Amino acid sequence: MKPHVLVTALKNLTGNARGCVYAEPLWGIPFNLYAPYVSIYMVALGLADTQIGWIVSISWGFQIIMALLSGVVTDKLGRRRTTLIFDILAWSIPALISALAQNYWYFLAAAILNSFWRIAQVSWSCLLVEDTDPQQLVDIYTWIYIANQFVGFFAPLAGLFIGIYSLVPTMRGLYLFAAVMFAVKAVITYRRTGETTQGNVRMHETRHQSIWIVLREYKGVLGDLLHTPQTLYTAGIMLVLSICMLIGGNFWAILVTEKLHIPAQDLAIFPFIRSAIMLTFFFAVMPRISKMDYQLPMVIGFLGFVVSQLVLITAPSLGYGFLIVNAFLDACSYALVGPLVDKMVVLTIDPKERARIQSILAVGIILLSSPFGWVAGTLSAINKNLPFMLLIALFAAGAVLAYAAGQASQKRMAPEMESA
């Protein structure tokens, strides 16, 4: 029996792509075990809701700073070394602090250190793609998404442990496990990768420059970015997805429990359904579209998101069937859009300035996304459907941006085709 094309693609990965993709579950499994219970762990240790809110706000402030510095640090230290250092700083050490936490100050320290993930994200992305064949990009990102869906199936284990050992001891154990696994993942990634060609170039170019001098050069990079339509379209799509994830992640459960009266214990059913559908989609559908131009699949994906939100806001009380349809459409749309957006990011960013451009994009997206939490909260207080009506408008805008990006790509390629 001939192996599935995605399995073949995974086996054929080489170099940095292999080192990054194969190690990804070592981060995903421990993270998905503790992540759903972080806020109630804080409450169990005596934190008030306002203190948790302050931790989130302060963390976002530090994330903006780290996102701004991420390109500079990645260029000066190199992609490989930066990923090792900041994966440990951003994930292993905060997990260890959280395992030992006694009060508010422990969690604040962990949150501040965790904000360094913005640096590791840029360096890891550069390490993954810079020396990789562009034809492999969709398969690579598809496997990263698959890995993150597979590890989601481990999440119920945490609930089982909590039922046996209670919340606080279980969370301390899960955080300790995570601290070790995050460190192992960082070391394996470092050992199984090499510095990229562009990473060596940027380390040489910035060797005798201070951080402030490199930061001042952002002005020129930003100017070039603003005159590159394709990258701006990509940034717009990334912003739409960021805002939509912020709103959906925080207000879906509120609508489902308060408007549709679904019991809280049943909420875990729907993420499980999403994961199962997404995995099926990745293996059954993505190989057929991975070689296609991104325009049509992405437009269809965003329109699928629109329909999924329409299904959600028209669902009746206890409308489990509507929620299953919503989960199905969400899963298929996300599986379709996610890897293609990541491919667009790689293909539309100037490879010589990849780290700094990704840094600028991250800062812009954080700043522009953050007010929408308050906007959605205000809308939800008026009517539980309103945040999702906003999502419909945003996803429709995403479809328009995807179409415009495709048109811009065709115009850019037309002269090249004629000269060929």
| 109 or 264, higher pLDDT | 109
**What are 83-94's pLDDT values in tens digits?**
999 999 999 999
Whether residue 196 is found in the same domain as residue 230: no
Whether residue 90 is found in the same domain as residue 197: yes
Retrieve residue 328's tokens.
């199905």
Whether residue 270 is found in the same domain as residue 412: yes
When pLDDT is averaged across residues 187-208 and rounded to a whole number, the result is 93
Whether residue 83 is found in the same domain as residue 111: yes
Whether residue 390 is found in the same domain as residue 307: yes
Whether residue 81 is found in the same domain as residue 195: yes
**What are 3-28's pLDDT values in tens digits?**
777 888 888 888 899 999 999 999 98
CA–CA distance, 337 with 319 (Å, rounded to integer): 27
CB atoms within 10 A of CB 335: 25
Contacts of 42 (CB under 8 A, 6+ apart): 51, 52, 55, 107
Tell me the residue range of the domain where 333 lies.
Answer: 217-420
Considering its fold, how many domains does the chain have in total? 2
Amino acid at 207: R
Residue ending a domain, among 161, 190, 209, is 209
**What are 95-149's pLDDT values in tens digits?**
999 999 999 999 999 999 999 999 999 999 999 988 888 778 778 888 888 887 7
When pLDDT is averaged across residues 363-378 and rounded to a whole number, the result is 83
Contacts of 125 (CB under 8 A, 6+ apart): 354, 358
Residue ending a domain, among 209, 233, 251, is 209
In SS3 terms, 128-154 reads as HHCCCCHHHHHHHHHHHHHHHHHHHCC
CB atoms within 10 A of CB 325: 16
CA–CA distance, 337 with 237 (Å, rounded to integer): 10
